[in-house]
Amino acid sequence: MCAAISVGEKMASARNDHLMKQRSVIEFLTAEGCSTVAIHKRMKDVYGDACLTEESKMQSMQYRHKNSPAPKKFKVVASARKVLLKIFWDMEGIVHIEFLEQGTTINSERYVSTLRALKGRLRRVRQDKVKEGQHDKARPHTSRQTQCALQQLKLPAIPHPPYSPDLAPSDFFLFPLLKKHLKGNHYETDAEVEADVRSWCRSQTPEFFADGMRKLVQRWRLCIERDGDYVEK
């Protein structure tokens, strides 16, 4: 897995550098007074298929005649705000769910509090069996305070390469399916969102969660076979 760390970091860094360079070009040409269409054409000539596609919305603004009626704007319907979800699960199902309050910052102290709640849930629903958890490389997950808490709570962590959502089962398996379920639904309150998420989680069978973990093992093997390269599918 050491190869996965070094290659993953290089690939992520290269993608970010390429993205930032193109955005800098857009900012510079915009400051010069170039139109969106002209900017896109010049960048397309240089970058080809690697050219950013985020300008499509801006381009469409240029295709309206100056005497055309102003575009209609649909009335924005009040909806629930974004809800931040933290979830822990294994082959048997959901172990612990937390919905963080709006504006909550996930720092080391907050994450340690979550780990303590997780430990309590493990005692109740898994008879305190030894579990190894997977944590990404976000700063609250790797801080000294968090590492000390993991040792005190006896929650060993599986090594995880940075910038590797392709090896995080919540990212490549659970969340995409949950988002598909939530897509198109309208919720008036955060409580409605939370209730629907909990209901969806409870409706999944143990085989569903076991399948997610099997896919993780498959991705580990592919990552090793590819010398640490990303696993797209």
Residue 146's pLDDT band, with cuts at 50, 70 and 90, is confident
Same domain? For 57 and 129 the reply is no
> Which residue, among 109, 120, 114, has the nearest Cα to 144 in the 3D structure?
109
Q: What is the average pLDDT across 148-158?
A: 87
- CATH of residue 189: 3.30.420.10
> Do 102 and 189 fall into the same domain?
yes
- Total number of domains constituting the chain: 2
Tell me whether residue 72 is in a domain: no
Question: Residue 206 above 90 pLDDT?
Answer: yes
Task: Give the domain extent around 55.
Answer: 2-62
Domain boundary among 32, 62, 92: 62
For residues 226 and 55, the model is more confident at 226
Q: Are 58 and 91 in the same domain?
A: no
CA atoms of 172 and 81, how far apart (whole Å): 24
Q: Which pLDDT score is estimated for 5?
A: 37
In a domain, 75, yes or no: no
